Amino acid sequence: MIQSNAVEKLTADRNQLAKHAVQVHKFGGSSLASVQCIERVVEIIRQHCQLNDIVVVSANGGTTDALFSLYHQAVESSHELEKSLNELKIMQAQLISELLNSTNETLLLSSLDNDFKQLFDWLTHSPQQHHADILAFGELWSARLLSAVLSEQVCPSFMVDARDFLVINNDKACHVDSSLSKKQLYQLKQSEKLAVITGYITKNEQGETCTLGRNGSDYSATIMASLVGALNVTLWTDVDGIYSADPRVVPSARKLHRLPNGVAKELGRLGNPVLHAKTLQPLTDHSTHLHVASSFDPTISGTEIGKFGQIAKQELSVTYLNDLLLAQSDSFLGAFGEQAQQEFLAVCGDNQAGFIVIHQEQQKAVSQWLASHDTEVKFTPASILATVGHKVIHHGDVQARFKRSLKHSKTFARVNSPNEHSIIAVLTQVCTTELLNHVHHAMTKDARHIGLVVAGLGNIGERFLEMLPVQLNRVSALENVHLVGLVSSKKALINNDGIEVNQALSLYQKDAQAFDKYLLMSWLANHPYDELVIVDVTPSEQFSLLYEDFFQQGIHVIGANKWAASSSTENYRSLLDTARKHKSLWLGNTTVGAGLPINYAINDLLNSGDNITEISGIFSGTLSWIFETYDGSLPFSELMLDALAQGITEPDPREDLSGRDVQRKLLILARAAGFELSLEDIQCQNLVPDELQALSTQDFLAQANKLDTFFSEKLTQAKSKQCCIRYIARFSVDDSGKITAKVSLEVLSEKDAFANLTPCDNIFQIKSGWYQENSLIIRGPGAGRDVTASGLHSDLVNICQQLNTRQTQVKLKGID
């Protein structure tokens, strides 16, 4: 049956669709259960579909159950039949009336009246003969309504009854006549219109209506994809992906972002609540990728099923089935055992031990099959609990862990599946919620996958990457960290399947592509990991402007980049709020002090209930070296030029002498201590005379001797008092709450804690409620590639430890 709503339709050139690629989209019953749900689906179609796509629909939520109930009432001659029939009609009519304009409402209500007349006739005269026809009305009404709504609001649409083209051999095997079905589908397709096709229903070779089983609309969708060669199939449902266990009973279940085809197929076979057992069969010989996403929150990345590399193949999950039968017989030994497993599509079996595990409704058929062998059979109530993963039977550590997790259960046997993707425990007890949660924890507790992107491949970035292989092998918190991105100012290398850490830089040189921030954000918004961490080793203010976007995507940031943490008060507050809202972590221990634990110390004091009243010290490794070395034996300008030649200063030494870097660092620490202030609130002494500030770098260096008199006089004055000169940062707050903050050149006693440092060292002094008379002092290297890279690794371990213990609450809307 083809229906094209003939009134008030949008034309092809006025369609409101946003996408342009051949795909199949399937919407389950819960996604179409109400007016609000259907409106949400319409918006998804607007954003994700194009005119050549196919939309496959289940019946509106609750409709199939209502039709099953009507059928049983009819068979039992229930007096409630007419009342139930009327209630269903009212429900369908209400959806039509609330979603369509008056013209289309009249057309669809007329069709609905005719359908209910036919339905009443079948129910009252021959329900058993028309069982499948009765159930088919649910998908018919759903497709007809959605097509009409789309034609009004989004694009030209037409409705197709799958029974007009889709042919199977029977409703048991459900083997599709692909050649005939494909030919008939293409005859029905209408150019420049979006097809809305009924799921779940089909016809057999005799032309009789058949169904594909409960949740069979998923199977319908992948059949359609194989017939038209679609690039992608998206199953829009009420959960946002496939999880490592049924999230209704295992609260700690993790979303599996990417699943290899074989693993997904095995999960469906063994009872995963989202995947239909036959769903993946039509895609076996196609490169089509299958996606599972939530229609209730389409912005959340779901699960993708397809062909992937090693990272996706590491995923483990746990699934179970109750209400099974363990059938034991000598006839299940050897070749007959293999034959029985194939004949009855056994959940599992062992032809050496002589048993198979079947569904309860198969008991009679198995008994009849065994009667011809004249052997006895023993049936025992059973369940199965399985660990599923790519080629999992070959992983001895997984086998051992699974065995240990079952030591207190009544395990009859453990069986490796022939496809090698599951280890199945046969239990002579019900698989309880407690047992499922225990085994899931034992099998997946270390499986949280974290993607790592390194931005900035200069001196420190290179050293960070050089240290990474050893860290990944040595630190347990980094066990499931995968390097997936390398980003410089102009090129990026992104690989979802991971970048070999020992060859990272050479792979970057070979394979990196030009990018812009839109391409970068597009990938980051759809990354396939439980968490994503960006290590920002750039000095770029432009890159720091992306932090807001990172946090909105729930991405975590480790920053050596000082720009974001020292930005305007408004922007800084917004970044903190966005990170908090989206549960993003932001660590920046290396923004001040390289690898020194100054940020950790401040954070620990605050978390312990202390109040910080003063922060001071020498925060610049460059200025530390210059003023520890400057003794007057050489003019200041010569010493500065020597520091420049050694790479101690910035390429333009005025960046160091201006004090701006120290000013930003003091702001970062003051904010970390819980105070709200801006850069303008910190007085900054610029050590570069006004006459030299506007010159080019070359001209400044040529006239650097103009610095000598000022510093010579300052040093002479200090020495006359047995003192020295140092560039000091100071922040303090008095009892009234008044804040004083400045960075400047100070004269210090030669016995001062700030006066006798190893050149390039930083020193930080903290006074607080607990540290008044005897201040807390942290001292050490404040610059250098090794210590800074080490500080970044420290932050990475810290952030991964927090993420590995984080639990994500799964939002359930009900199951299709």
Residues designated catalytic: 665
How far apart CA 165 and CA 159 sit, in angstroms, is 13
403: Cβ contacts below 8 Å, ≥ 6 apart? 414
Question: 747: closest CA among 722, 766, 764?
Answer: 722
Q: What DSSP state is assigned to residue 696? A: -
Whether the Cβ atoms of residue 470 and residue 492 lie closer than 8 Å to each other: no
Query: Exposed, middle or buried, 759 (CB in 10 Å: 0-12/13-18/19+)?
Result: middle
How far apart CA 104 and CA 124 sit, in angstroms, is 30
| CA trace torsion 721, 725, 731, 733 (10° rounding) | 10
Helical segments of 34-130, H only: 35-48, 63-75, 81-99, 102-125
Give the three-class secondary structure for 187: helix
What number of CA atoms fall less than 13 Å from residue 93's CA on the CB side? 15
Q: For residue 500, what are the CA distances in angstroms to 252, 294, 462, 476, 482?
A: 30, 33, 15, 19, 9
Find the helix or strand (DSSP H, E) in which 469 lies.
Answer: helix 459-474
How far apart CA 564 and CA 546 sit, in angstroms, is 9
- Report the amino acid identity of residue 545: L
DSSP codes, 576-624: HHHHHHTT--EE-GGGTTTTSTHHHHHHHHHHTT--EEEEEEE--HHHH
Question: Residue written as tokens 């394979």?
Answer: 511
In this structure, how many other beta carbons lie within 10 angstroms of the beta carbon of residue 537?
Answer: 27
Whether the Cβ atoms of residue 237 and residue 814 lie closer than 8 Å to each other: no
Query: Residue 667 is encoded by which pair of tokens?
Result: 């702001």
Whether the Cβ atoms of residue 492 and residue 518 lie closer than 8 Å to each other: no
How far apart CA 384 and CA 350 sit, in angstroms, is 14
Question: 71: closest CA among 115, 29, 120?
Answer: 120
| CA trace torsion 456, 462, 466, 467 (10° rounding) | -60
How far apart CA 778 and CA 593 sit, in angstroms, is 10
Give the three-class secondary structure for 19: coil
Question: 103: closest CA among 179, 198, 7?
Answer: 7
Residue 663 dihedral angles phi and psi, to the nearest 5°: -60, -45
Residue 295 dihedral angles phi and psi, to the nearest 5°: -75, -15
Give the three-class secondary structure for 289: strand
Q: Please state whether beta strands 289-294 and 556-559 pair in parallel, antiparallel, or not at all (unpaired).
A: unpaired
Specify the length of the chain in residues.
Answer: 816
Question: Residue written as tokens 């221990």?
Answer: 589
How far apart CA 210 and CA 226 sit, in angstroms, is 20
425: Cβ contacts below 8 Å, ≥ 6 apart? 384, 385, 386, 402, 406, 409, 411, 413, 414
Find the helix or strand (DSSP H, E) in which 441 lies.
Answer: helix 433-444
Whether the Cβ atoms of residue 61 and residue 29 lie closer than 8 Å to each other: yes
